Structure 1
Amino acid sequence: MVIRSRDMKRSLLVILILNTCCVFSQIAHDAYYLVGCFENGTTEVQFALDAEEFFYVNFKREEVVYTLPKFVVDDPSHIFEIPHLYRDAARAKALCPVAAALIKAEEKNPPEERDPPESILYPAEEVQLGVEHTLICFVNHFYPPDIRVSWTKNGDLVSEGVSLSRYFLNNDQTFHQFSTLTFTPREGDIYSCTVEHLALARPLTRIWEPEFTHPSPGPDIFCGVGLTLGLLGVAAGTVLLVKGHHGQ
């Protein structure tokens, strides 16, 4: 078991790491069982297999939510006993106050370094003028897992059409998270995604401006231009012929 306390004022994390866990076959796999205990009383429980999240626990609904696609695991109950998983998660949640007290008792030790986030901002697909699209702000490699993401359009804060995913555990015990913005691009619009985190001296902002590919003149216009020039040439030749005829 690994207990990490990077910021006692914000969050506590208890991470149980199971190495070489054979689940599907005789091949060794790395499994991570994560229990996140937060100061506001909330608890997050996740299970990841080979850096891919397998399931998380929704305590409000009192259920285990599987996040792997069905083509990987059609019926998770064949692998895990679901009621047993929820009972274990509830017990882990009950241990959060104990873990908090344990870490607070060791507060005199120097805190571990915080990891500042990195972020990139990009559209989900090729952008077309006047068509609804999605912008993705991907935030990665941060610890502790508390971030704040905000969006602007042309300098004004935007809240409509904004979503923020749960955080996901990386192999190095940092985290990553996605925020998305649904928008309809217009000429001249400028969007930004700003990330705030304890490890940042100032907010981290990424700016994105839609670029539209306008259709080129194409062969039809060039054909029209060629036809016009050709007709002018015929007219000029006719005038010359008429003048030559009268000059005879």
Structure 2
Amino acid sequence: METNTMKLCVILVLSTILPENTVCNVFVYEFTRLTGCSDSVDESEFFYSLNQDEIIYVDFKTKQQIIRLPPFTEPIDFRYLYDIAVNERDACVQDIKSVKAAIGSPSEARDPPEISVYPRHDVVPGEKNNFICFVKNFYPPHIRVNWTRNGDEYSCTVEHQALDSPQTRTWEEPIEVPNVTPTVVFAVGIAVGILGLATGMFFVIKATCFR
């Protein structure tokens, strides 16, 4: 976007016949005209502002001038303002083309996307759910996203100009591993108990037989 700005400062001095050593009031008003354009999208701006408050602008889509002054103020005649704005816009676009022809277009910044896949809700076997492929922080905005499913495995593949090759993120339903610790401990406890009982019986029998 190229912008051309013209500023006009108006100094208003209010004074009357006053005694000596009296200071006069000085008011400074900043009157600004701005023209903005772009050669890649149909976006242009043209407006006037007074002390950074927009007072009128041109809508290029409706081909109208929109006055932003309060209704209680006296109307201002901006005759031929739309024609002036069109000429300014065309000159702005031509300036961009001339600069690009002379020095070329700057290389476009590219940011690779960040990708993650997750379910919308907690996964419950047998219940419906939605899966989200969340892609963020990428530029340019054009991107392609594809979903694939293989059994309980959901994959999201993203293609983007900033990526050397398509990137895939996968979500797979976790497999619940049964908790075998209590069973093992219980089995070991029984084995130790049986071993202890057998050992005790051995010593009892031995003591009885060899008296």
TM range (shorter): 0.3 to 0.5
Q: Which has the higher contact order (CA 8 A, sep 6+)?
A: 1
When Rg is computed on C-alpha atoms for both structures, the one with the higher figure is 2
